[in-house]
Chain A
Amino acid sequence: MPHDVEKHSHSLLPSDPELKVKALETALVKRGLIDPAALDEIIDTYQNKIGPKNGATIVAKALLDKNFKKALIGDPMQILEKHGFLGRQGEHIKVIENTPELHNIVVCTLCSCYPWPLLGIPPTWYKSDEYRSRVVREPRKCLLEFGVTLPENTKVRVWDSTAEIRYLVLPILPDKYKDFDEEQLSEIISRDAMIGTALIGDQS
């Protein structure tokens, strides 16, 4: 249905979004179309089970093991399957490596596509108009707002996930963490570092 003939039934719902969700949930539960226990289960999954720890586990391994990194960049799906990190919004993952010459940043300007099985539900800033509109035009200025300054000769590449390919940034391992083991490393690899808006060791 094209935009201009779409009917806007949503305006019949309460305008307060909290009441809007409640009204819709109640209508659907009464018709037997959704199960409140299933909703709780979905929320529990993304609140407590699936999050950036998954991505950090894989990234830490890749930073310490060259062969693993090569395999992860070459054919990530096989590796992610072995770790049990496949699933919704992570059907087609690609790992992109930061180097001293190139810094990668991921965005979805059309909605908020994000590698859920590796990073969980995207943070509010990733879904915000501010990030989605600006990072494609002024990525360096946006990075400053995250407290990141890149060396002058580092080029920036922004990846707009307009299809079903989901991108995970493999950040650079700073020299001061070279002696860390996998577990220690995975503790300091932040969600934002795997989106490209932080470096390893930055707080966030």
Chain B
Amino acid sequence: MGGRYGDVAIQPASITDKTFKETWHARALAVTLATGSLRQWNLDMSRHARECLPPKDYCAFSYYDKWISALANLLVAKGVISPDEFLDPIQKMHPLSSRKLLAADVAGVLSKGAPTSRSVEGSPKFLVGQSVKTRRADNKFISGGHTRLPKYVERCEGKIEICHGAHVFPDTHAHDLGEQPEHLYTVSFLTSELWESPENPSDTLCVDIWESYMEPVNDP
């Protein structure tokens, strides 16, 4: 949605705001994190599941409603539970219950995280300062699949700012096609390259972009 028109003013937080506005927000977050321990999907798959909500639901649902609805779809798609159980729960131990996240393990799991950096053979294709151009923001492996190249920077020219080393590639990882790690870069774009009427043409945008999302540009 980056750059989309029509959205109204931002409502900054007030100091009395709670971490979770509603009790069910906290529950939605906790259920989503806890089911991750069943190891039936990865982070890219769960992001993709949210993107796969029908557009009318995606627009209408609040933030945590998207999370919980996508989680329901993921649980069914991965064969963990049947949709019948949503309304008519079954009291029966699941084969995956041995992987259930226990309260005693929560602190360890949350503080460990899941780094996505990987060692790969071969040096980065691009150097800091080099000019690059992004390709179309579509998944090249699966039509309509997950990608992390935002639409608003597709086919735009930018400059390599930082090389981050290789990271898991979301376009394959979200679709059971493996991690296929690639070099990841921070690329800067002048706002005048991105928008027809930039707010200030000398401001910049930095976006983290995987190597295969870009091609080199020969500087004049």
Contacts and interface: CB of A to CB of B under 8 A. Distances in A.
Nearest to A146: B12
Contacts of A23: 86-87
A160 B7 contact: no
A2 B90 CA distance: 30
Given A25-B27, A145-B10, A12 B19 contact: no
Nearest to A127: B63
B76 A2 contact: no
A21 B24 contact: yes
Contact of B102 (A27, A38, A94, A121): A38
Given A17-B24, A110-B148, A38 B106 contact: yes
Band of interface residues on A: 35 or more
B35 A33 contact: yes
A31 B92 contact: yes
A42 B47 contact: no
A111 to B, nearest CB: 6
B20 A47 contact: yes
12 contacts: A24-B31, A38-B101, A42-B110, A43-B30, A84-B111, A87-B113, A110-B148, A112-B63, A121-B20, A124-B63, A192-B12, A204-B14
Given A136-B2, A139-B199, 13 more contacts: A9-B86, A10-B69, A12-B87, A13-B86, A24-B86, A33-B100, A35-B103, A39-B31, A110-B148, A136-B205, A163-B167, A204-B12, A204-B13
Interface of B: 1-5, 7-15, 17-24, 26-31, 33-35, 38, 47, 50-54, 57, 61-65, 68-73, 75-77, 80-81, 83, 85-87, 89-94, 96-97, 100-103, 105-107, 109-117, 142-145, 148-150, 152, 162, 164, 167-168, 175, 184, 186, 188, 194-195, 199-200, 202-210
Interface of A: 1-4, 6-13, 17-18, 20-28, 30-35, 37-43, 45-47, 50-51, 84, 86-92, 94, 107, 109-112, 117, 120-121, 123-125, 127-134, 136-142, 145-147, 155-165, 192, 197, 203-204
In the A-B complex, list the 9 residue pairs whose CB atoms are closest, starting with the nearest: A109-B2, A32-B97, A2-B144, A163-B208, A10-B69, A39-B30, A37-B103, A31-B94, A41-B106
